[in-house]
Amino acid sequence: MTNDRSSKGASLLEELLQHALAGVLLARRGISHAQSKGDRELLELFENSLSTCNERAETVRQLLLVARNEGESHPAEQVTSASFAPGDGASDADVLPEGERGRAGNWPAY
């Protein structure tokens, strides 16, 4: 994943996590309601929902961890002014490491 896709994917995962956690709360309320009514079938439904929402939340948490770690290991390329603004007065000496002038490549920002 590129950083842009990683950050967008992470935000979608965070949203999914919020929905899963909301499902957990709703299922717990449903369990309380079913217990107070003595409705065994409804109780099973909400217990299954709780289990599913908890599993989903845990899976999303793990995916978020992976997405964040990938983002840390692939830093975004830093664009210098000389790379996109011709005529701004910057020369290769301003943006390239010493001894690398005249060679094509992507260089880290200093």
- Phi, psi (deg, nearest 5) at residue 76: -70, 145
d(CA 36, CA 72): 49
The residue behind tokens 């001894």 is: 99
Q: How confident is the model at residue 73 (pLDDT cuts 50, 70, 90)?
A: very low
pLDDT, the chain, mean = 77
Give, in order, the Cα–Cα distances in Å from 68 to each of 10, 28, 59, 71, 79: 7, 30, 14, 5, 22
The predicted pLDDT at position 9 comes to 62
Any idea which of 14-23, 47-56, 87-96 has the lowest mean pLDDT? 87-96
The answer to whether 88 touches 52, Cβ cutoff 8 Å, is no
The predicted pLDDT at position 31 comes to 97
In angstroms, the first-to-last Cα distance of the chain is 25
Burial class (CB in 10 A: 0-12, 13-18, 19+), 29: exposed
The predicted pLDDT at position 70 comes to 73
What integer is the mean pLDDT of 59-72?
83
Each residue's pLDDT tens digit, 49-65? 999 999 999 999 999 88
The predicted pLDDT at position 1 comes to 44
